[in-house]
Structure 1
Amino acid sequence: MNAGKDSTRVRILTAAEQLFVERGYHATTLQEIADRVGITKPALYYHFDAKADILANLLDPMTSELEHVLDQAFAAAETGGVAAAREVLIPGWLDVFLRSRGTLLALVRELASTPSGAFDRAIAAMERAIVLCAGPDAGVAEQVTMAQVVAAITDPVALMPHLRTDVLREHLLAGAWRLLGEPGDAPRPARRGGGRPRSLSAEDIALARELHASGEHSPESLAGRFGVSRATLYRHLKT
């Protein structure tokens, strides 16, 4: 009896996820879910109280898996430090998200229901950015890397509201260049307008010194590349 109940619950969740992806969460009705499963609407209510309950049951396993990976990463950090934690966390989280692609896609599709096609325009702009910066002859590896860069310079804006805009911008750009494998050759935007001059991170200082020591880069070119004044660059080179 319990096995049959569990089987029906799984079928309901599977059907709901498919419909959420196809039609969006708000546009999907409980009756449509019941019809897709082949049961009555009252029978569906026997398993789930509301549509929100179905969505929660789709998200809960993913969240639990993420928490499990976090626990493993914390354990790894106790013996191996940050590097060991990353080795567990990054591939672990990726695998969880890949297993939950349907649920994640359903949530993204839901955002697409915003009025005036705003979400579609935003997605189209990001797709154009990926194609443009990956290059016309880019393979899968280049396209995925560029998609990672686009995510890397957008997601933290929402996830880290406590950081100042100038600090967040500096580190987002540095991270993007690292993803592209161009920490030394990528042009750094110069500061525009007035306000506080841009400061160099410890990583930028080390890189500037290395490039200057190579003899292939003048202080003036390095100042422009890192978006600081020549005086600021000279001060760090002499320190």
Structure 2
Amino acid sequence: MAKPSGTKQRIMQTARELFATKGVQQTSLQEIADRLGITKPALYYHFSSREDLVRSIVTPLLDDGERFLERMEARGDVPPLELIEGFFDFHHRHRRDMLLLLTEMTTLAELGLVDMVLAWRARLTRLVFGDAPTLEQEARAVLAFGGMQDCTMQFPDAPFDELRAATVTAARAALGLN
């Protein structure tokens, strides 16, 4: 995927800020254009709709997550600790946009993105527990991987190394891997 132009990047950054403050549905494209000092047609040159703008913000996150999972699945013998640490690193890297994902579930469901994120958890569960996990193992995986995601957003000011160590330890405990 090509890196967006300077104007496109500015639009995406301003949209992130307004979406985080007001919510996606309460933020108009006109407000974004006004904040940037551009016309609405100039904004439409880069994004055909609010949904297109939201998708452009979350697509790099989704692409990165998909690449991570594909790498882990291709190996087939990933030690659980490496998988957990890699999953934490992915979420920490994208925590700002992940927060947008979680606060705008309705919008994202309409875009078909929620199903992808939920499918990731099932794939992670299979990587840890194999192709036929028990209900208890599936529940442990939901708690572990969902909790890791939450930790990256809940503690934004925590030092990276401390947060990573605490989160990975808690995820291993939830998965029963201590």
Query: Matched residues, percent identical?
Result: 35
| Partner residue in 1 for 2:41 | 42
Task: After TM superposition, give the deviation of residue 40 of structure 1 in Å.
Answer: 1.2
User: Given the two structures, how large is their TM-score scaled by the length of structure 2?
Assistant: 0.56
Matching residue of 2:13: 14
Q: 1:182 to 1:10 in 2, by over 3 A?
A: closer
AA aligned opposite 2:102: V
Gap change, CA 1:41 and 1:82, over 3 Å in 2: same
Distance in 2, Cα, partners of 1:182 & 1:96 = 19
2:62 — aligned with what?
63
**How many angstroms apart in 1 are the aligned matches of 2:40 and 2:93?**
29
Which of 94, 97, 105 does residue 103 from structure 1 map onto? 97
Please, what TM-score do these two structures have when normalized by structure 1? 0.43
Separation in 1, partners of 2:85, 2:44: 38
For 2:21 and 2:43, locate their aligned partners in 1 and report how far apart those are by CA, in whole Å. 20
Give the structure with higher Rg (CA): 1
**Matching residue of 1:94:** 88
Task: Tell me the equivalent position of 2:53.
Answer: 54
Please say if residues 58 and 101 of structure 2, whose CA atoms lie closer than 8 Å, have aligned partners that are also in contact.
no
Contact 1:20 1:106 (C-alpha < 8 Å) held by counterparts: yes
Deviation digits for residues 128-153 of structure 1 (CA, Å, limit 9, x no counterpart): xxxxxxxxxxxxxxxxxxxxxxxxxx
Letter in 1 for 2:43: L
> Any stretches of 5+ residues in structure 1 without a counterpart?
113-155, 161-166, 184-239
Size of the aligned set, in residue pairs, is 126
Q: Which has the higher contact order (CA 8 A, sep 6+)?
A: 2
What's the offset of the Cα at 1:182? 9.5
Q: What is the RMSD computed on CA atoms of the aligned residues?
A: 3.7
**2: distance between equivalents of 1:174 and 1:33?**
41
CA apart distance, 1:100:
2.0
Gaps of 5+ in 2: 107-117, 123-133, 144-169
1:17-42: CA deviations, max 9, x gaps? 11111111111100111122221111
